[in-house]
Every structure is written in C-alpha cells, then in structure tokens.
Amino acid sequence: MNTKNLSFRTRSIHVGSNRDPQTGAVVPPIHVASTYVLPGAGEPSEFDYARTGNPSRQRLEQLVASLEGGVGGLAYSSGMAATHGAMMLLKQGDHVIAGADIYGGTYRLLHKVLNQAGIEVSLVDTRQIHRLDQAARDNTRMLWLESPGNPLMSITDLEQCCRWAKSRKILVGVDNTFATPVLTRPLEFGADIVMHSATKYLGGHSDALGGVLVTSQTEILERLHFFQNAVGNVMSPWDAYLVGRGIKTLELRVREQSSTALRLAEFLSQHPRVRSVNYPGLEQHPGYEIARRQMDGAFGAMISFEAGDDFSQAKTMVESTGLFQLAVSLGAVESLIEQPASMSHAAYDREDRLAHGITDSLVRISVGLESFDDLKADLSQALDSMD
C-alpha cells in the first residue's frame, strides 16, 4: 500500500503493519529469530543477523520515520541508548551545546560519560539565541534540544535554532519525547535527527522500554546504523511490537491527555498552595506564542509546578496522591507524579540543578487518560495534605 499521502492518524495504524502474506493475519507476527538462512555462502540477504536487522524492529522504524517525516529510523534498547547512538556521530575534541532544560539522564550522559571520551559540553538556555552565539566554538558539532524542556516545560524555537545551526554546519538533534510527532515534527523545522524515548508516549502503556532515532538524511542514517550494528544497541522484537501497537492510538491519546492537562494546568494556576505552573498552553507561559506555532493544536500532557514552600512539603505532596502514582517516566495512560530534585533530575549536580531553575519544591506530573474530575480531586487532596 502506498501510505505517503495518508493522514497522520491513518499512517499510525497502517505503516509497517502489512498483513502477513503467508497467513493473512492482520497483525504481523513478532520475529524472534536471531539468525537467518542466506541464499548462498557470502551472498547478501535483506536480513542475516538480528543485531543488524530484524523485521519487527524494521516495521517500527518505518512507522516512526513516516510519522516524523524522515528518510529512515533506527530502534534502540532505550531512549538513552538512542541518544547515545546519536552522540556517536561525535568524536574526541568535539563540543556539544545542549539545552539547559533537559532530561537528567541526558545531562548525565553528556557530563559523566561522553566527557570521558573527550567530548565537551555546554548547557545553554536555548530560548535565547544570543546564548548560542556566546557558547559556540570552532569545534561545536552538535546542538541538542528539547521542547518542551524537561522538567521546566520551556519552549525553544526549533526553527530559529536550526537556522542558527545550519549556518554554522552544526548538526541539530531534538529529543521529541514530550511533544511526540503528533504535536511537533522537528525535521520540518530543519533538525537533522529526532530522538524518542519510545518508553513514553509512543509505547504509551508503561510496558515497553525503547528509543528511536529518525533522520532527514540517508548519509546520517547509514552512519547511525553502522555504529548501532557495531555496538549492538538494539530494541528487542517484543518491545518493537508493543511500541508499534501503542502508536496505533498515539494521536488519540496525546490529544485527549493534552486536553485534560490544559484543564489541570488552569486548575493548578488558581490553587493557593501552588506558587507557579509551567505549562506552555497557559497564555502567561513565556513560550506560549512559539508553542502555538510549533505544536500542532495542543500543548502536551506534561506539567510542572512549584508546590508548597520547600523540599519536604513538595515531597509530602507527591507522596499523598492516589491516582497519580509516584514514579519516574511519563507519557502512559496512567497518570504519574514525581519530584525532579529527588527523582528524574537527581543525576544533576545540586548547584547546576538549582542554577537551571529545578528547585527543591518543583513537582512534575504526567497526565494520563483518567477523567479530569478524578485527577483534579486527587491533586486537590494532595495539595491540602501539605498543611
């Protein structure tokens, strides 16, 4: 089937999901084989060994590449493995500029792993283009962005940053985990690589671990595949199946969860025990206008807010919810709550964390598919528990 001209929602269901020609099964089988019979000794075949390629993984790669509008994709064992896969394009002596509002694990990879390979990093507030000018060096090779950022929900103008980077021949990678391709497709703004923690919205049900890279350029895809095959960092067929199944409902989930999130953000911003709310769908959010342009009709389902006065009050709050489960991760049908300072961003050095505005009283929620009324009641009683 030619799927090129089909809408996003239809492609989510049909790309990579061709019926099984042997049996007519509507859902393709999960291919578990680790090795494949060759037509002859030394003769090439589409699949030869599962580290190099696997049909279940390939189906997912084609699907995410279609949704992101890239030439191809690669599926990894986790989101961090995918980020690391992209960073393997760098070599000793190169410099990376990354957003200041990024996932704690990416911070750790850059500051505590890649630095050992002689790769330098600067964290920059990517909302301000002059800060990129200040940070750029002759050896800057990559700009790594997140929008909305994690956990402060900062909005970076992707088009502006990509234009800036292109003029300096700097590669742009965007961690699109929070926005998903339903709301933002970074390659359309000029990014070279898009990364997903497929563990989150793509999978959507808290039951699979994986990461995906999609790129707009065949040459980059080939290099990424060379590194992936050399290192062996691949997604399992079972996870590829689960993530692909999750993607069939991605648009419905993301739009519904975003609409509940907007209502919860409005509720939180009126609450006396909440000092501030970070949600790009609120008009008072500094990135609201950019988000309206860059995000397709909704603002995502992640919110962060300052609860109470200090670390221990915020801790009490996150430990007092019932429906919002106290857990890292995000993007699934069930709502989650966490305290970045002690959980998702605990990998930050404390001074760096505070300098980047990730305070002790910050709380982050991932809004799931439960009803607005039930989620509001749950947050309300947890905020009251701080008294």
Task: Say whether 200 is catalytic.
Answer: yes
The residue from 65, 103, 336, 378 that contacts ligand PLP (CB under 6 A) is 103
State yes or no: residue 144 binds ligand PLP (CB under 6 A).
Answer: no
Q: How far is CA 105 from CA 255, 326, 341, 381, in A?
A: 27, 19, 13, 31
Tokens at 95, concatenated: 């410099």
State yes or no: residue 361 binds ligand PLP (CB under 6 A).
Answer: no
Interface stretch with ligand PLP, choices 161-169, 174-182, 267-275, 357-365 (CB under 6 A): 174-182
Q: Please, which residue, 211 or 368, has the CB nearer to ligand PLP? A: 211
Q: Give me the phi and psi of 75, to 5 degrees please.
A: -105, 135
The residue from 199, 206, 335, 361 that contacts ligand PLP (CB under 6 A) is 199
Q: In this structure, what DSSP letter does residue 35 have?
A: B
Give the β-pairing of 120-124 and 274-278.
Answer: unpaired
Interface stretch with ligand PLP, choices 33-41, 76-84, 120-128, 304-312 (CB under 6 A): 76-84
The residue from 105, 190, 246, 281 that contacts ligand PLP (CB under 6 A) is 105
Q: In this structure, what DSSP letter does residue 101 have?
A: S
Question: Of 153, 177, 173, which is closest to residue 101 (Cα–Cα)?
Answer: 153
15-19, long-range: CB < 8 A, 24+ apart: 15/62, 15/63, 15/66, 15/67, 16/58, 16/59, 16/60, 16/61, 16/62, 16/63, 16/66, 16/244, 17/59, 17/63, 17/244, 17/248
The residue from 211, 237, 300, 368 that contacts ligand PLP (CB under 6 A) is 211
Question: Of 72, 49, 48, which is closest to residue 60 (Cα–Cα)?
Answer: 72
State yes or no: residue 215 binds ligand PLP (CB under 6 A).
Answer: no
State yes or no: residue 79 binds ligand PLP (CB under 6 A).
Answer: yes
Please answer whether residues 344 and 366 qualify as being in contact, where contact means their C-beta atoms are separated by less than 8 angstroms: no
Task: Say whether 4 is catalytic.
Answer: no
Catalytic-role residue among 9, 51, 131, 223? 51
Cα(183)–Cα(24) distance, integer angstroms: 34
State yes or no: residue 142 binds ligand PLP (CB under 6 A).
Answer: no
The residue from 61, 94, 175, 239 that contacts ligand PLP (CB under 6 A) is 175
The residue from 197, 294, 304, 366 that contacts ligand PLP (CB under 6 A) is 197
How many residues in total does the chain contain?
387
Tokens at 304, concatenated: 């962060």
Interface stretch with ligand PLP, choices 74-82, 108-116, 159-167, 306-314 (CB under 6 A): 74-82
Please answer whether residues 233 and 76 qualify as being in contact, where contact means their C-beta atoms are separated by less than 8 angstroms: yes
Mask of contacts with ligand PLP, 35-54, x by CB under 6 A?
Answer: --------------------
Radius of gyration of the chain measured on its C-alpha atoms: 21
Catalytic-role residue among 57, 101, 103, 185? 103
Q: Please, which residue, 58 or 78, has the CB nearer to ligand PLP? A: 78
Amino acid letter, residue 117: A
The residue from 54, 126, 150, 258 that contacts ligand PLP (CB under 6 A) is 150
Task: Say whether 51 is catalytic.
Answer: yes
Give the β-pairing of 95-99 and 274-278.
Answer: unpaired
Please answer whether residues 193 and 171 qualify as being in contact, where contact means their C-beta atoms are separated by less than 8 angstroms: yes
User: In the block, which residue shows the tokens 């390939």?
Assistant: 58
The residue from 17, 54, 177, 321 that contacts ligand PLP (CB under 6 A) is 177
Q: Please, which residue, 80 or 362, has the CB nearer to ligand PLP? A: 80
Question: Of 97, 199, 81, which is closest to residue 146 (Cα–Cα)?
Answer: 97
Amino acid letter, residue 250: L
Residue 309 makes CB contacts below 8 A (sequence gap 6+) with 361
The residue from 54, 62, 78, 156 that contacts ligand PLP (CB under 6 A) is 78
Query: What is the number of the residue whose Cβ is closest to ligand PLP?
Result: 79
Mask of contacts with ligand PLP, 319-358, x by CB under 6 A?
Answer: ----------x-----------------------------
Cα(46)–Cα(55) distance, integer angstroms: 9
Question: Of 178, 152, 110, 127, which is closest to residue 354 (Cα–Cα)?
Answer: 152
Task: Say whether 103 is catalytic.
Answer: yes
Interface stretch with ligand PLP, choices 10-18, 75-83, 118-126, 158-166 (CB under 6 A): 75-83
Q: Please, which residue, 54 or 197, has the CB nearer to ligand PLP? A: 197
Give the footprint of ligand PLP on this chain (CB under 6 A). 78-80, 103, 105, 146, 150, 175, 177-178, 197, 199, 209, 211, 329
Enumerate the active-site residues: 51, 103, 175, 200
